[in-house]
Each structure stands twice: as structure tokens, then as C-alpha cells.
Structure 1
Amino acid sequence: MQVSAEQVRQVYQSEVHDRPVTRADEVPPSYMSITREWLDDVLCADVPGAQVANFSFDERDDGSSNRRRIFLSYNAAGEAAGLPATVFCKAAESLENRIVLGVSDTARAEADFYNLVQPQLSIPTPKARYARFDPQSFAYLIMMDDMAQGVRFPDERTTLTRQQAEQMAVTLAGFHSRFYQSEALGTAALPFTTWPVWWANQMKGAPDFPDFCDKGFEAVEEHLPARLVARRAEVWPATEKSVARHNELPHTLIHSDVHLKNWFILPDDRMGLHDWQLTTIGHWSRDFVFSTTTALTVEQRREWHLDLLRIYISEMERHGVPKIDFDDAFLNVRQQLMTAFAFWTITMCPTGDMPDMQPVRTTVEFLKRMGTAIDDYDVLDSF
């Protein structure tokens, strides 16, 4: 069922936001709802005698979700069991976030990812201690082990090494190959929406999305290639064609929001993925081009991109996927740039119901990188 912003708003306004929760099957409507009893049920249920002694919160960090660490101490049984001293949480505590995550169905999708998909993967992903979505209130909470001390989280100021870039291709292939053309896609085992359906629902839920993408384009015109700026009117039609291509191509599970800031770097330079809110069913090329064009500088992409695509295709074949034709793959990669670009023009100029999701410096740099790639690859002429 398609959810509207007004539905979410009405439920939120009637909600008691700090209502205490005490059982794991209750999704906290806010961080202030969390009690020691709830934490006991979530974290200590499998450790006889263990209990949370005390807990406190870090400052809240807002983006597409409301993020917060919880600091914990335990009784002797909990300490002896090595229960986590900190956990990292994502929630939909504010109205703006509840609307964005409810209308887009991304809160439910991320909970389903951690409960149904993550246990089947061998790629680096966060370990979830709790993942639940409430379809009545649209509240959700994901609680993960805190990785802050063990990994690095890159942003647009991070210059990746060639090895790290290659590991991105390896990680993506490890994920995509696991569910490539699987009969379980779209069933109760993998209950995710196809990318074209997700997109169509998003447009229904936010009918002014195209207009605000165009405003975002206008806001960064000075950072985009002149040829692309001159063809601004063609950008949205090409974006819709990019979405439609998924109906014609082989399917797998895709992350769908694999920009550089949703990766983490392990000490051995392997690359892991977090923030699985937009897990959908579609063609792998969206993930490949979204990740590489945001992660690499323009110069790196021009030098490495085709080699990385070859590595990705080789890894897919190694995992049992039938050999992918390189020319077909590169055409698909080029075309899928358009919806990746739209994700960041809307970030530059969000609609009224959307929260501010990223720093302006990040948004401008990613749009510059993707816009240059669209121009380099003649994407508007590729359909």
C-alpha cells in the first residue's frame, strides 16, 4: 500500500513520543522511549542473568535518519559475556524523517535487509543487534555494533587508493552475485520492491520531486560541464528512461544508495557497505556507477573506471554469474548515472517534507563528479 506524507503526519501528531517501551517487540517512537527493561530484552535475553546497569545517549546526528549512540554498562554477568559497551542506532524520531522513511518504504526495507539478507552475505556489513519497523506508527529502529573504533568512514575529502577502489568492485560483485536472477526476489524471503516501482511510488508520494531536482541542478550549474548545463531540459526525461531500463535487464538485489559515504574501510583495505534503507530489486549497474562516480575523483574515474568494470564482471563470473558482455555492461553503467545524479540534485534542494540530508560541500562535490561523468560518457545520447 502506498503511504502518503499526510498519513504519516496524522499518526505522528497523535503519538505519545516519549511513551516508555519495555519489550523488544515494541518499536520505540523516540530515543526517550527506550528503557533499561527494553535494552535488557534486546541485548541481554540470550545471556542468563545479564542486565543493563546504566545507559546514556550521545548527541543525536540527523540526516535521512536520526542517528545516535547508546553507551551501556552491565552487571557482572553482562560484563563477563562481553556485551557491547556502545551501540549505534538509526531511527525515525522526527516528523520529517518519519515522512521520508515511511513514504519511501525505506524504514521497512532496512529492517528486512538486516533480518533476512544480511545473514546470507559474506561481504563486510554492520552487525545488527535489533532491526524492526512498525507499520502502524512508521517508527523504526536499527541497533548495530558500534564500528567507530575499527573502521574508517570516508567522505568526499577522502582520496581512495587503487586497491580500495578495486575492493569496492569486489564487494559489489559479492553482493549482487548472491541474489542474481534469484527466484526468491520479491517473495516473502526477499520482500523488496523493484527499482521502477520504488521510483514510481516515490514520485507519487512527492509529486514535486522533479521540480526540486531541477532547482538543485540550477543551484550547482557553475560546477557542471557547460555542455550538460546547455541540455538541462533533457536531464529529467533521461532520468525516467534510466529507471525504465531496469524493466528490461536482469535483476538482483541492489543497495541503491551506494555513494561514498555509505561505505566503510577496514584496516586491511577491504570495503564494506552500510545504510541499507534503499535495498530494492534491480540491475547491478546502478550500484556500480553510483559508487564509483561518487567515490573517485574525476581524474581517478577517467583512469580506472573501465578497469574496475572489468574486475567487477570477472568477480561476478567467479561467483557463478554467466559472463556479462563488457559493451552492454558499460552502456548500462552510463545510463544508470541519471538516477544517481537525481538523488543528489534533490539532496541539494530537498522538497518541503524532506530534511536536510548532507553537507552542501558533499553534495556539490558529488554532483560535480557525476555531472562530469554524464558529460564524459555522452549519457544523454545513450538511450
Structure 2
Amino acid sequence: MGARKERASMEQSPLLPLREELAQVTPYGAPQLDVAARLNVNENPYPPSPGMIADITQAVARAAEGLNRYPDRDFTALRKALAGYVRRESGLSFPVEQIWAANGSNEVMAQLLGAYAGPGRTVLGTEYSYSMYPEYVRGAHSRYVRVPRRSDYNVDVDALLQGLREVSPSVLLLANPNNPTGTASSEAELIQILQQARETGPVIDDRRTATVVVVDEAYAEFRSPGQPSALALLEKFPHLVVSRTMSKSFGMAGLRLGYLVAAPEVIADIMRVRLPYHLSALTQAAAIAALGHAEEQLRQLAELRERRDNLASWLESKGYTVPRTQANFVLFGPFPDRHQIFSDLLDRGVLIREVGPEGFLRVSIGTSQEDQAFRQALEEVTR
């Protein structure tokens, strides 16, 4: 009797008003599997040092004493700490008014699109770029338009400039270094794009606006010496936004702390759409403590860059096409059946990623032991 009543109740459940455009959408997410070598989501393979863990623990304990109060809504102390880190890493100084942070670069992007995208507007990007960009744009109820990349997977500047002219995007999303190809644009190319974007945005009150150019530098600290950051262009181009994260270089993917550097006017616009108290007191405290260990984290990256370049050279020696990467991963291929290679590697305890151009795979730089496990497994499955 009870079972019949339960079934009847379920049959009478009301239809939920899911947005029509989401009916065929599946939740985003790379596989999370417990394997020996997890090299699919570009994590820093090294956990925080004992010293960093101790400092974070103490900072969070102090913050916990005041959890009955709301956190600092404008997180001024954290923005000061981020400004100090940016100065240390890039040699460029920015006031607190030009720094913003959120729960991962995901929320940074959502806030930017909340301010500058929206219904009836267009966001421009490139093919073979970060797979979350279309998700961000869909969430903003906007149209996403991609322009092609060159055959070497670098940005096709001419195609991008044409796209700016033709679709009048309110925002351009440009990952640099790009994920999943690892390729990076030169400063001269960025200047060309920024100059074009001064008046390619939508028309508002009979005036042509700028396209907000978001240069996503999630992997900036992994770039080779001499590869410039877009931060150097902020003073000249107020419609430029440079987005970064603590997930990769700091080995703090679990913290979820992304940030951006932009003109004060951009920060003011973001504050129109941000949710109040979006950064918890615990997140703020942990991030500030972690930033105190910038020196040791930046030293660690040199070893990861060296092993990245060694792995790229090894893959090239095996006959694969390998775009020149400036990030902590390597794209390689093509394979007639990349899913078979992916599956065969997984059977051997090595998890990588099926992403990017048809036939290509992406592998993150892990520990030296994980890198060796990947090489051995790949040789086994391609004999």
C-alpha cells in the first residue's frame, strides 16, 4: 500500500520550469578517478609545504573566532596581498583599486560577463580554447562566437580582428597561454587586438563602446622567460582585464581563489553585479597566508617548466605534433582514435584528457614519477 502511494505521488509531481536551452545540457566536469597518475586537470602536482600549511592553519583558526560576523565585503587586506604578489612576480605595481578577487577564475569570469555581457550581446573567443568559456557565456544569456586559430594553433590575429569588426562583441575572451594548446600570443599581437577593440563593442546611446578584452593568464607563471604578461599593457588600454588564479602556480586548486587586475572603472562595474560577501573570511585568511610563501612557490615552477619542456621534446622525438606550450601541460597527437589511447592509458593507471583539436590529447605535468609513468604507458599502448 505504501509503495503504491509513493508511486502515485511521484507520478503527480509537477514539471519543473527548467530553462529550455538547458534541456540537453550535461553538467561540466573532467573525470575524477582515483588512479596512480592523475594528469588531466592541470593541477600543480606538489601539495603546499609544511610551512605554508602551518601558516594557513593558524590564519584560518584566527578567522574562525569571528565567524559570527560577516567577512570584509571588499576584502581589502587580501587585495593588498595580491597586489604585493603581482609586484613580486611581474615587477609592476597596481593599487588596491585595480585588484579584484572571487571564488576561482570561474566566478571572476561570471562577474565580468554579468557586467558586460547579457541578453542580445555577443562574446568573442577562439576555437580550441578553454571549454568553460561557452558555459560562462550561456550563463550570461549571451551568444558565443569563435574565430579559427592558425594551423599551428596560435591566435590568427587577422581572423580575430575581423571578428571584432563583424560581430561587435561586448567581451573578448582570450586565454594566454591558451588552454588546451599551451600556445601564447606576443605582446605585439595583443597590442594589435587591443587597439582594434577600442571601438568594436555594442552601440549604447548612439555611441560605439569598446570591447572588453579579457586576457586569461591562468597559466602565466609557467610561461618561459621573456614571454611578457599582458599586465604591462593595462596602463595604455583601460578596456583590458587580466585574469589570474592561485590554483595552478600556488598549488591551491582546492582553495578556489581567482583574481584580476583592471582599471578602477572595471572594478566599479563588477561591484554592481557581485553578490555581497562572496569571499568567506576563511578563504580570505587562507589566501593571505599562502601569498606569504610566494618565493618558494615561484622557485618550484622552474622545475616544472624544465620537465614540461623535456616532455614536449620527448613527444616530438616520437613523431607527435606538439604545439609550443607555455603552460603546465602538453598537447600532442594526432591519433586516429584518441579515445582508444585515452582508455588504454587509463587501464595502466594514467589519466589524461581528451580535449582540443580532433585526434589530440593533453597531459598535465605531474611529479617526475608521474611523468615517467605516462611515458612508459604511452610507449606500451602505441607499440
After TM superposition, the score normalised by the length of structure 1 is 0.27
Q: Larger Rg: 1 or 2?
A: 2
Higher relative contact order structure (alpha carbons within 8 Å, sequence separation ≥ 6): 2
After TM superposition, the score normalised by the length of structure 2 is 0.27
Whichever structure has more helix as a proportion of its residues is 1
